[in-house]
Amino acid sequence: GENVEQHPSTLSVQEGDSAVIKCTYSDSASNYFPWYKQELGKRPQLIIDIRSNVGEKKDQRIAVTLNKTAKHFSLHITETQPEDSAVYFCAASGTGGYNKLIFGAGTRLAVHP
Amino acid sequence: KAGVTQTPRYLIKTRGQQVTLSCSPISGHRSVSWYQQTPGQGLQFLFEYFSETQRNKGNFPGRFSGRQFSNSRSEMNVSTLELGDSALYLCASTGPSGANVLTFGAGSRLTVL
């Protein structure tokens, strides 16, 4: 069935370091891969996304890479700041389309000053 | 531009009762999706509505149902509540220019006692 695996489940870094979160998806038909950030008690917010016709996308300190052959995609955050501390979710578009997303289990990122 | 609005924000029910949650999408957005978020299962797709029609459905029992009105507002209903239905129920809307791009509401936190 449809599945998205996300690693690691927790990540602790020092301020200024880089953080990398990796996801693997199962459905070869998936063509849209967003990343959401969820702070404690808040709603998930889209931070970056990539479509299957693009291999890499960057927005300031965050970037996403996609390897369709291996069904892997990753989130890279550079120069981390304490306000980057949150739970990050990767997702892949699901079977049947129509705005159905299959989410990974989440990565709790802690950035220590 | 107002965001996605969900009501009520918090509610407590007892086993066997039923509950109705409401979601008003961003103005101009005609697609509304519903997700269940729990610590154990993460974010799981419930269903998606567009122009009053359910276009896609996740793997939830028939106790979970929804509908959409002509003004794009959506409701979801859970009947015969079980303890395991305790969760944050998130609604997301998608506009015409962003396929799969979900904007989430703040959620309705349901506690079943």
What are the tens digits of pLDDT across the range B45-94? Answer: 999 999 999 999 999 999 999 999 999 999 999 999 999 999 999 999 99
Phi, psi for residue B18 in degrees, rounded to 5: -125, 160
Report, as an integer, the average pLDDT of B27-33: 93
Which of A43, A49, A103 lies at the smallest CB-CB distance from B42?
Answer: A103
Phi, psi for residue A104 in degrees, rounded to 5: -75, 170
- Written as six digits, the tokens of A51 are 């479509």
Give the span between the Cα atoms of B61 and B76, in whole angstroms: 13
Please report, in tens digits, the pLDDT of each residue of chain A (113 residues total): 789 999 999 999 999 999 999 999 999 999 999 999 999 999 999 999 999 888 999 999 999 999 999 999 999 999 999 999 999 999 999 877 668 999 999 999 999 99
Mean pLDDT across chain B: 94
> Which SS3 state, helix, strand or coil, does residue A2 take?
coil
Report, as an integer, the average pLDDT of B102-112: 96
Residues β-bridged to residue B38: B42
Q: Assess whether pLDDT exceeds 90 at residue B95.
A: no
Contact B42 A97 (CB under 8 A): no
Chain B nearest-CA distance from A15, in A, is 27
- Whole-number pLDDT of residue A2: 85
Q: Per residue, what are the HEC states of chain B?
A: CCCCEEECCEEEECCCCCEEEEEECCCCCCEEEEEEEECCCEEEEEEEEECCEEEEECCCCCCEEEEECCCCCEEEEECCCCHHHCEEEEEEEECCCCCCCCEECCCEEEEEC
A chain contacts of residue B42, beta-carbon cutoff 8 Å: 89, 103-106
Contact A100 B58 (CB under 8 A): yes
Confidence bin at B1 (pLDDT 50/70/90)? low
Nearest CA in chain B to A103: B43
- Whole-number pLDDT of residue A54: 80
Give the span between the Cα atoms of B54 and B85, in whole angstroms: 21
Report, as an integer, the average pLDDT of B32-40: 94
Which of B44, B48, B104 lies at the smallest CB-CB distance from A44?
Answer: B104
